[in-house]
Structure 1
């Protein structure tokens, strides 16, 4: 994981509408940047819906929520529409940002080792510096736990 106090790596990815979004677009706001394995899976759905439910509370604290996975723009669009998600979902099919934030790691599923996205949340301040990191988070509890950290 990246170090607290370090500059968050800059990125530009497409959101669920196919529009380019960059981290620098959010200077002046707090950013909750959460990485998740896959759209429409039970854990990822619980996490995204938790962020959607608490989204007004995040906005009240001057924060935006951005989810990132390796799913396609089309997958994100369906996922966001199905669950009425009010925040950006960014598609990183090339794994550039996922690797820059050190969340592409070896995972052990039922004794089989594979590479994948480790569910991780970064808190980024108004100036683009990392102020918090939560690794291997509990999907259902992550939104509430993150809100308490802001």
Structure 2
């Protein structure tokens, strides 16, 4: 599993995104990017996290950052999720698990006695130079968007 820690170059990201767009990390060189990984769209914790980031989008923009959520959900599901809650963050789909693997957020989970590979809730603050400034693992949703914003303003 890759060790994505502050000071390392952020792995490339090129994913299909909501509304027929693509999100490419390279397109945001010179700006900060908040790249957050979440397990599944339209579940309680993931919905609260997306809504919290959305509530702070104006402050993130004012600080020169774009906020991008990544899950394994198909784009059509992301479009419905975004519309249902009026989300203002970019939502990107990593159905192939490629970006999740590069960021080391794939984890073994268990539900009803069955094991499966899922996404660890994690966030990476990527600086304008393309290096990771901060990394949060095993994120607790409450207060997380505010903590990321504080680190961005740093």
TM-score of the superposition, structure 1-length normalised?
Answer: 0.94
Take 1:71 and 1:140, find their aligned partners in 2: how far apart are those partners? 23
Take 1:119 and 1:83, find their aligned partners in 2: how far apart are those partners? 20
> Is the Cα contact below 8 Å between 1:47 and 1:141 reproduced in 2?
no
CA RMSD of aligned residues (A): 1.4
Aligned length: 150
Report the equivalent of 1:135. 137
Report the equivalent of 2:80. 78
Unaligned runs of 5+ in 1: none
> Is the Cα contact below 8 Å between 1:70 and 1:92 reproduced in 2?
yes
Take 2:116 and 2:73, find their aligned partners in 1: how far apart are those partners? 17
> Is the Cα contact below 8 Å between 1:43 and 1:140 reproduced in 2?
no
Take 1:33 and 1:143, find their aligned partners in 2: how far apart are those partners? 12
> Is the Cα contact below 8 Å between 2:50 and 2:89 reproduced in 1?
no
- 1:149 maps onto 2:151 in alignment: yes
State the 1:20 CA deviation.
Answer: 1.9
Matches within 5 A, 1:16-35: 16-35=18-37
> Is the Cα contact below 8 Å between 2:40 and 2:71 reproduced in 1?
yes
Report the equivalent of 1:39. 41
> Is the Cα contact below 8 Å between 1:35 and 1:121 reproduced in 2?
yes
State the 1:3 CA deviation.
Answer: 2.0
Q: What is the DSSP-based 3-state SS (H/G/I as helix, E as strand, rest coil) of the residue aligned with 2:117? A: strand
Q: What is the DSSP-based 3-state SS (H/G/I as helix, E as strand, rest coil) of the residue aligned with 1:74? A: helix
Matches within 5 A, 1:34-73: 34-73=36-75
Unaligned runs of 5+ in 2: none
Cα deviation digits, residues 71-106 of structure 1 (max 9, x gap): 000000001111111121000100000111000012
